[in-house]
Amino acid sequence: MKDVIVQVVQHLRPGGIETMALDLLNQLNPRAEVYIFSLEGTKKNALAHWPRLRSISSRLRFFNKAPDIRLKLISELKSALLEVGATAVHTHHIGPLLYGGAAAKLMGVKHIHTEHDAWHLNSRSNRNLQNLLIRLIRPKLIADCEEVAGLLNQYYPYSQPEVILNGIDINRFTPPEQDQRQTSRKKFNLPEDLFLIGCAARLETVKGHKYLLKALKHCDEKTGLVLAGSGSLRRHLKREADHMGISDRVFFLGHVDNVVPFYHAIDLFCLPSLNEGLPLSPLEAQACGIPVVATDVGGCSSILCPQSSELAKPGSTRSLIQGIQEIQQRGSVQDPRQFVLLKGSLEKTADAYFNLLSCVKEA
């Protein structure tokens, strides 16, 4: 008999939480039967926009929830949990905590809940709702970094969250072999003669791309910027690049399903976010041997190799420029991959979650 673990997410669009859920599914699959329930969207649309989902489509369920309160969804989730024989439920973020957590409570199965960031708790209504849900549903509470745990303890002193750091697949994210850098640049039609700064993030305000564009304007003309990701700000950011006179050095790739060649194509990774929990992309870049400049938000400070990467102030173009120039000037001092091997292995993350979720004793 195997454990049957169901992860509940708000939606299945490319993003940090969703990638973490997929990685956990793949990592735990040999030991458990793992499903992902998505509150929003349909399977057809998800598979069309995220090809990575196709190989696990049989393990996905979608409930096509509209953006309003739908209490009937709790009973629908309960029925779906019964159908797959769920022995444990793992919810990610506040919406899944409400619906998936309530369904797990009604079924009487083990339930853990992970908070991947805490900036949504800046809203008093969100804080009050989360307080109510934690008290009523009583999940085992997990934070993905010490910074998130600290805020949860501040708002909910009774909650006693456990910290499980996010991890990445270190066998997938590896440094480029000889000629792979050139091959990867050709794949994305990128110039071979520029020092390329890369950013892989949704093109939305919270990711702080506008500060990265301003920083590029102050870099020399041999420096370019590669943006991987889609979002509502794509046109606006293109107009800004045109207005600044740097459009010939800014390359928009759109959504990139396999980001490994993207990391192999760049010289420096930059994440200028205004808010984060514990993002995966800095770990991925460093595992590929790429130094990182990231803003000091969420748990970013805990996942940057201190010898090869730099922290910047959020919302500060000057600080981003200083971080970029520092790395450009000093070159490679230490391979950041060694830091990730010690700090951010997906295997360690999956083991920690499995120990909490498993209801079946392994032989």
Number of helices (H), then strands (E), in the chain: 14, 13
Q: Is 43 within a domain?
A: yes
Determine, yes or no, domain membership for 144: yes
The reply to whether 338 and 351 lie within a common domain is no
Same domain for 216 and 152 = no
Gap between the Cα atoms of 164 and 17, Å rounded = 14
Q: Is 351 found in the same domain as 331?
A: no
Q: pTM score, two decimals?
A: 0.85
- In 3D, which of 93, 63, 67, 66 has the Cα closest to residue 81? 63
Return all residues near 179 (Cβ < 8 A) that are at least 6 apart: none
At which residue do the structure tokens 């029925």 appear?
Answer: 79
CATH number at residue 262: 3.40.50.2000
Closest CA to 288 of 338, 348, 323: 338
Judge if 281 and 135 occupy the same domain.
no
Q: Is residue 318 part of a domain?
A: yes
Q: Please list the pLDDT of the chain residue by residue as tens digits (363 residues).
A: 789 999 999 999 888 899 999 999 999 998 999 999 999 999 999 999 899 899 999 999 999 999 888 999 999 999 999 999 999 999 998 999 999 999 999 999 999 999 988 778 888 998 999 999 999 999 999 999 888 999 899 999 999 999 999 899 999 999 999 889 999 999 999 999 999 999 999 999 999 999 999 999 999 999 999 999 999 999 999 999 999 999 999 999 999 989 999 999 999 999 999 998 889 999 999 999 999 999 999 889 999 999 999 999 999 999 999 999 999 988 666 789 999 998 888 999 999 999 999 987 554
Same-domain status, 326 and 350: no
C-alpha 28/C-alpha 358 separation (Å) is 10
Residues 127 and 187 in one domain: no
Q: Could you list the residue range(s) of the whole structural domain that residue 318 is in?
A: 180-343
Q: Is residue 199 part of a domain?
A: yes
Residue 35: beta bridge partners? 6
**Same structural domain, 25 and 104:** yes
Structural domain count of the chain? 2
- Residues 119 and 151 grouped into a single domain: yes
Check: CB of residue 78 under 8 Å from CB of residue 92.
no
